[in-house]
Amino acid sequence: MREVAIIGIGQTKFGELWDLSFREIGIQAGLAAVYDANVASEDIEALYVGNMSAGRFIEQEHVAALIADYSGIARDNIPATRVEAAGASGAVAIRQGYFDVASGLHDIVVVGGAEKMTDVPDAQGAAIQDSAADQQWECTFGATFPALHAMIAQRYMHDYGVPREHIASVSVKNHKHGALNPKAQFQKEIKLETVLRSALVAEPLRMFDCAPLSDGGAAVVMCSMDKAWKYTDSPVKILASSQSSDTLALHHRSTITSFGATKAAMRKLTKRTGVDVSQINLAEVHDNYTISELLALEDIGFFPAGQAGKATVDGQTQIGGRVAVNTSGGLKARGDPIGATGVAQIVELVTQLRGEAGKRQVSNAKYGLAQSVGGTGSTVVMHLLGVA
């Protein structure tokens, strides 16, 4: 397969975008990426859109055709395909686009992700998120998506003797990073007490342990490496893509304090690239809940099991630490418009690897790792990017 580069990135501000519809969000992100890449609209040969639940959020399926239409690229009859894997929807879109170009099918492809979550009442939005888990055997019996993650957190604290404050410190760190990102939904630093005293969601998780409901879009332009230099002086290479699955329901796992799919995806990534976790100091991981970031960091191999909380408290995961994790603010502070999230991770890594991250710039990052999760670890998609 061919080498693939990302030559353009775009993102809307994440947040409650009352004045933008779903299609406007998608197009704003897509056009920003296309302008950034310096490609003409007629150069684009295919479109992939990551989206979890436009059907339930705005009663519109078929959203890839919608975006192709309103961005004007449908007039060239290019293929436009939506892909979905709950929270990992944007990441699977990145993956499909990557293999599209890598296989030689197309030379220039746009991958976008978008979600418009605030057109429904908050409780309904939360219920839609539940559909990432097993409706028939988890949600029907009252297990909401936050409740499932709360069980993970409880077990994690019990097994490793981790204090509650360690988990909460993930939120503090990500808000600190988010304060440096002008596209983030929340751009204010918070204190540990803010997390610990916020409204209870599902013991032990509180409001500030949970990513918000968000509107937003993100997009990238991919190009075969050999043509990339024609468009940009700073292409970023996709070194590898891996995707793994696990049972949909938590109760079918042998452990819930570790995601087997993350471990499997990381093994594949290491095998394909030869890059060891010790060489990586920049990562965007799926912190839909604070506990999720700790599991991610341990399953990837940055820290031993039960140690990621302590590492977070010690500043090892903030900018300047051992590995800068979620420099964008993560799902917690940057926001989590579900379908856009996996794409936004890539946008952040490219921004960093280009050296364009301003106040949140990580120095000496040769690689950028993205880990995106669908459900409670049922789908895990990982990408490793590198300076070309």
Of the candidates 98, 163, 149, 169, the one whose C-alpha atom is nearest the C-alpha of residue 343 is 98
Of the candidates 340, 345, 337, 346, the one whose C-alpha atom is nearest the C-alpha of residue 113 is 340
* Residue placing its CB nearer to a second copy in the complex, 60 or 234: 60
DSSP secondary structure of 127-149: HHHHTTS-TTTTGGGT--HHHHH
ω into 204 cis (within 30 of 0): yes
Q: How far is the CB of 74 from a second copy (least distance, A)?
A: 5
Task: Answer whether 111's CB lies under 8 Å from 102's CB.
Answer: no
What is the distance of C-alpha 134 from the center of its chain?
21
How many of the other CB atoms lie within 10 Å of CB of 252? 11
Q: How far is the CB of 360 from a second copy (least distance, A)?
A: 32
* Residue placing its CB nearer to a second copy in the complex, 131 or 194: 131
List of residues contacting a second copy (CB under 8 A) = 1, 21, 23, 52-53, 55-56, 58-62, 64-66, 68-70, 74-75, 77-86, 92, 95-96, 99-100, 102-105, 128, 131-136, 139, 243-249, 252, 260-261, 264-265, 374-375, 378-379
Q: How far is the CB of 21 from a second copy (least distance, A)?
A: 7
* Residue placing its CB nearer to a second copy in the complex, 246 or 348: 246
Q: How far is the CB of 128 from a second copy (least distance, A)?
A: 7
d(CA 260, CA 288): 18
d(CA 340, CA 326): 15
What is the distance of C-alpha 262 from the center of its chain?
14
How many of the other CB atoms lie within 10 Å of CB of 164? 16
Q: How far is the CB of 167 from a second copy (least distance, A)?
A: 25
Task: Answer whether 345's CB lies under 8 Å from 370's CB.
Answer: yes
Q: How far is the CB of 378 from a second copy (least distance, A)?
A: 4
Q: How far is the CB of 69 from a second copy (least distance, A)?
A: 5
Q: How far is the CB of 367 from a second copy (least distance, A)?
A: 22
Q: How far is the CB of 139 from a second copy (least distance, A)?
A: 8
**Cα Dmax for the chain:** 59
**Residue listed under structure tokens 């519109």:** 60
* Residue placing its CB nearer to a second copy in the complex, 62 or 359: 62
Strand order in the sheet with 367-374: 46-50, 108-116, 215-224, 4-11, 236-245, 379-387, 367-374, 282-284, 324-325
d(CA 122, CA 280): 37
* Residue placing its CB nearer to a second copy in the complex, 81 or 194: 81
Dihedral sign of CA atoms 253, 336, 122, 65 in order: negative
